[in-house]
Amino acid sequence: MEFNLSDNTTMVADTARRYLKDHYGFDTYMQQLNQLNHCDPSRWELMRELGWFGLPFPESVGGYGGDLIDVAMIVREAGAVLCLDPYVDLVIGPGKLLEYLGTERALKVLQSIVDDDERVACALYDYHAGYNILKPSLSINGSKLSGRKNFVPDGGCANRVLTTAMLGDELTLVLVPLEGCEVTRYRGLDGSRLADVLFDDVVIDEEMILSRGVKVERAVSKAVAWLQALDCARMYGAASALYQRTLDYAKTRKQFGAPIGSFQVIQHYLVDMFTDLQQLESMLFMVSVKADLDDTLEREHACSATKAYYADKGVKIAQQAIQIHGGIGVTEELDIGHYFRLMTYCSLTHGHGDYHLDRIAALGEECDRG
């Protein structure tokens, strides 16, 4: 067993850290908070130039054949600087979905994401179906798509949307231009841009249906595993930043004539944050390898364990960071509270703690039977 990052991954991470530090941070974040628009085109182009768009995709579509861990290290750094640009939602999410479908048509779309600034959002959730990605409420009846998707990340900024829908009892993946849909934009808790998309009897031709049945189920399940791992990577970046800022604050903030970090209770709070952070890091390494496994049981177990652990400890670190900061920690002026929002947000995407604990319990039974 070996936990070192490869030279290549280290380089990707270092480059990402430098780039993100130069172009992001609290000021950029606060600007973005006040826009419902997509990210700055020049920053978007820079990401492409850094090779991030093609990073985890096959060379055949213009990618570099990188691993999940490479992307995870980027997303970790992005979390640490509160980056709101939709790299994961408009590139990695749809990209992995298309790659796992693997049909010619899908790969062509993927290639256009990598090369041509095609913007495809993923619509996997609606509030009726909740976290059950294999049984969306949206359905195709008589070649018409009707119903609603919610919580579509950057759904307002994309040209097209990759949406799941039921065709009979088969899960189907449809690529729909967004012009013909009613899109309602709003902001997510973390400051990102979400949208509801209403499909009002949108006519679906065969061209738009990318695939259906077991193949789609498998592709969705594998792509979502990536997104779950990347949720945790983002949370780790935030947790790490919170810990460091809080430690620094405890060393400098004086009350009763001494740094608050000299009080034993604060010391123990910080030690708890630190030891939790170490375990969060271990879980991130683990999931960055296992979320890409073909073995469904092991993959889902790893993703659920990590998501559940992060929903618990990541959130606790953020709460404790606020408590130790005191009043200043609950203001919008300081980044602490914004990391807290990010943490809550990511603890709810792609399955919350309870969902994942239930899944682990169910997988356990499956294991026992198998």
Partner 1 sequence: MNLQFTQEEQEFQKTIRAWMRENIPEEISRISALGEMPEKSQQQQWEKRLGKQGWLAVTWPEQYGGPGWTATQRYLFDLERAMAGAPPVSPFGVAMVGPVIYTFGSAEQKERWLPGIASGETLWCQGYSEPNAGSDLASLKTRAERKRDHYLVNGQKIWTTQAHWADMMFCLVRTDPDAKKQQGISFLLIDMNTPGIEVRPIYTIDGHHHLNEVYFTDVKVPLDNLVGKEGMGWTIAKFLLTHERTTIAGVADSHYALARMKMAIDEAPYYIDKQQARRRVAELEVELMALEYTNFRTVAATDEGRPFGPESSGLKIKGTELQQKMSQAMVEMGGLMSLVWDSSSAVGNESFNHSPRRYNFLRACTIYGGSNEIQKNVLAKMLLGL
Binding at 164: pick from partner 1, a second copy, none (beta carbon under 5-8 Å per type): none
Smallest distance, a second copy to C-beta of residue 262, A: 10
Site string for partner 1, 123-142 (x = CB under 8 A): --x-xxxxxx----------
Per rule CB under 8 A, is residue 65 in the interface with partner 1? no
CB neighbour burial string for 95-115, b if at least 16 within 10 angstroms, e if fewer: bbbbbbbeeeebbebbbbbbe
Site string for a second copy, 239-278 (x = CB under 8 A): ------------------------xxx--x----------
Per rule CB under 8 A, is residue 87 in the interface with partner 1? no
Question: Which CB, 260 or 311, lies closer to a second copy?
Answer: 260
Q: How many CA atoms lie within 13 A of 245 on its CB side?
A: 25
Per rule CB under 8 A, is residue 71 in the interface with partner 1? no
CA distances, 342 to each of 235, 244, 321, 349, 367 (Å): 7, 17, 13, 11, 34
Total interface residues for a second copy by CB under 8 A: 4
Question: Which CB, 251 or 268, lies closer to a second copy?
Answer: 268
Separation of alpha carbons 336 and 324, rounded Å: 11
Per rule CB under 8 A, is residue 128 in the interface with a second copy? no
3-state per-residue secondary structure call for 285-303: HHHHHHCCCCCHHHHHHHH
Question: Which CB, 229 or 260, lies closer to a second copy?
Answer: 260
Question: Which CB, 18 or 187, lies closer to partner 1?
Answer: 187
141, 146, 184, 221: which one contacts partner 1 (CB under 8 A)? 184
Question: Which CB, 34 or 264, lies closer to a second copy?
Answer: 264
CA distances, 235 to each of 86, 223, 314 (Å): 15, 19, 7
Per rule CB under 8 A, is residue 1 in the interface with a second copy? no
User: Taking a C-beta distance cutoff of 8 angstroms, is the pair 79, 87 a contact?
Assistant: no
Report the site for a second copy in 86-105 (rule: CB under 8 A).
none
Could you tell me which of 238, 252, 248 has the C-alpha nearest to residue 317?
238
DSSP label at residue 349: T
Smallest distance, partner 1 to C-beta of residue 45, A: 28
Question: Which CB, 140 or 284, lies closer to partner 1?
Answer: 284
Total interface residues for partner 1 by CB under 8 A: 92
Separation of alpha carbons 337 and 357, rounded Å: 27
Query: Which residues lie across from 176 on neighbouring strands?
Result: 161
Binding at 21: pick from partner 1, a second copy, none (beta carbon under 5-8 Å per type): none
51, 58, 62, 191: which one contacts partner 1 (CB under 8 A)? 191
Stated as kind and residue range, the H or E segment containing 99 is helix 93-101
Site string for partner 1, 27-46 (x = CB under 8 A): --------------------
Per rule CB under 8 A, is residue 157 in the interface with partner 1? no
Site string for partner 1, 199-238 (x = CB under 8 A): ----------------------------------------
The token pair that represents 130 in the structure block: 């909740």
Could you tell me which of 38, 54, 319 has the C-alpha nearest to residue 157?
38
Separation of alpha carbons 20 and 324, rounded Å: 27
The amino acid at residue 367 is C
Per rule CB under 8 A, is residue 164 in the interface with partner 1? no
Per rule CB under 8 A, is residue 290 in the interface with partner 1? yes
Per rule CB under 8 A, is residue 251 in the interface with partner 1? yes
Taking the CA atoms of 365, 294, 53 and 16 in sequence, report the sign of the dihedral they define. Answer: positive
Question: Which CB, 114 or 363, lies closer to partner 1?
Answer: 363
> Which residue's entry shows tokens 């990340």?
153
DSSP string, 225-249: HHHHHHHHHHHHHHHHHHHHHHHHH
What does the binding site for a second copy look like in residue numbers (CB under 8 A)?
263-265, 268
